[in-house]
Structure 1
Amino acid sequence: MAGRRSLVAAALGLAALLGGCSDARPPAPEVASPLPSMQANRSAAAKLAFTHDLTLGLPPDRVAPHFAAARNRCLSDTGLGCVLVSSSLEDGARPSGRPQAQIQVRLPHESVAPYVAFLTAPLPGEAAGDVVLRRQATRADDLTTPLEDGDRRLAQLTAYRARLDELAAKSDTRVEDLIRIAGELSKVQSQVEEGEARQRGLQRRVDTEIVSVFFHSDGARSGAFAPVEDAWSQAGQTFGASAGDALRFAVASLPWLPVAAIGLLLVRVLWRLRRRRRARIGRPLTEAQP
């Protein structure tokens, strides 16, 4: 009986030992979910601020309508989320006779393609070839490092501000220390607000894109008298350029006038001396003749 009990105890001990060993084994590796990796890649992606530059070639009389359409679309279409940054229009009264316009807008990412498609499409009554995309360029500024540095700086300032609040809340703080703490809190609060404004500006650049469009006239005036019209339109500029050249020459010649006067005076004196010498040499010859 005692042997059987010892045998059972030994068996139970072995089972417990095997169970402990089985529990101590490392768990089997699980299949990684694609969601965390996607989130990691998304968080590690660069924060880029895109800027697009477009140059559109148009007939001279279509520059102003396209400029007005682009500006009105940005201002009136609330679904685009467009912000007009700048715009300018120069009509054909310029000396070159070529109207041109420029517009710059800020758009969300999803509104860039529809707006660009609207810009490059002909207006009602125009032919398909009236609007020509002459140039297109895209630039991306990496703002990842400035944003991360700004976040770290804000975290440090916020922690410092919290520490100052704790010191100011203590009952045993002296009045002199409270005054110093209040001044430091005001300084830190200003830095925090400036940092937050800077971060919002950088993040806005990342969340939106800048589109700059230059409307360029492909040709000046047309017709048989186009050269005459161009010459007449440039008459004022030509006259001004010529007058400027003449005035520039006159001003540049002023320092040389005394030098030229002295030179002329010397030439005149030498010429007189030469004539007198010739007169002296020729006088005896004439007197020696019978």
Structure 2
Amino acid sequence: MPKSICAAVLCGLILLPWHASKCDDAVRRTEDVVYGRKFGMALTLDLFQPAKPNGAGLLFLVNGGWLSSKSTPLMVTVRPDDYRVFLERGYTVFAIVTSSQPKFVISDEIDDVLRAARFVRFNAAKYGVDPERLGVMGSSSGGHLTLSLATRGGPGNAEAADPIDRTSSAVHAAACFFPPTDFLNYGSPGAMGVGAGPMAPLQVAFGPSALTSEGREQLGRAISPIYYVTKSLPPTLIIHGDKDEVVPLQQAEIFVAKARSEQAPFVQLIVRPGKGHGWGDFWKSAEDIEAFANWFDQHLLPKK
């Protein structure tokens, strides 16, 4: 095959759906990288590598309503165009697909994202990223998992047989949209959000523990990011609408207040007036995504 034709074919194979105009501008996508296994099921991520990487990696948590899929209709899926701005700035993006309800529940999904962070750090050199410059982002339940990783990420199990499980799951910056943060005080002090109130339609995501009063109390504390906040919280940005009836703005406000009370140095809340639980295709909202990208630039890239 002539070299010119071969180059054209290779360029076409690695282009994302928006079709970069030059091969040098292309993004390489590697699909279905297995980052873990459970019950015989593979946990996978899709890797997006820009032509000019800046050395930092972003974990994009593919999750909504605690549902996650590579490409299944009616579930949150991998959408490459959502990562355009981050790839243009040189970030390597890991689109993380987690397990889902009804077989797997929220606590399982928290374990998945912790495993994904360990996997990325363990393989950082392979993927051309600095293991000390990792960020995470998500929306709604993906925002909940983002804050779960930000608050709970840390040293691995030194006794684990798997070297990945011995690796740290810490991240160094986080950004998310409208996340649940405290299921025991959901919208107001003492209001139960474990499969109740606005979360009642998603009761199956909480599992059988949500069926008893005692179980709800224990589970609510175990899966709420607010109870894991310390001064070591990585720089965290939350964007939330003040008309959100699914995840009340109060959830972001109390998380930020807790972080500041713990003297976490970098935490910010941006409130979008009149916005509900999402606004249009918010992952393509220029002002919001630019805010995310600037946040990661500020906290993950070398100071100029």
TM-score bin (small chain): under 0.3
Q: TM-score, normalized by length of structure 2?
A: 0.16
Query: Which has the larger helix fraction?
Result: 1
Determine which structure has greater relative contact order: mean sequence separation of CA pairs < 8 Å that are 6+ residues apart, divided by chain length: 1
- TM-score, reference length from structure 1: 0.17
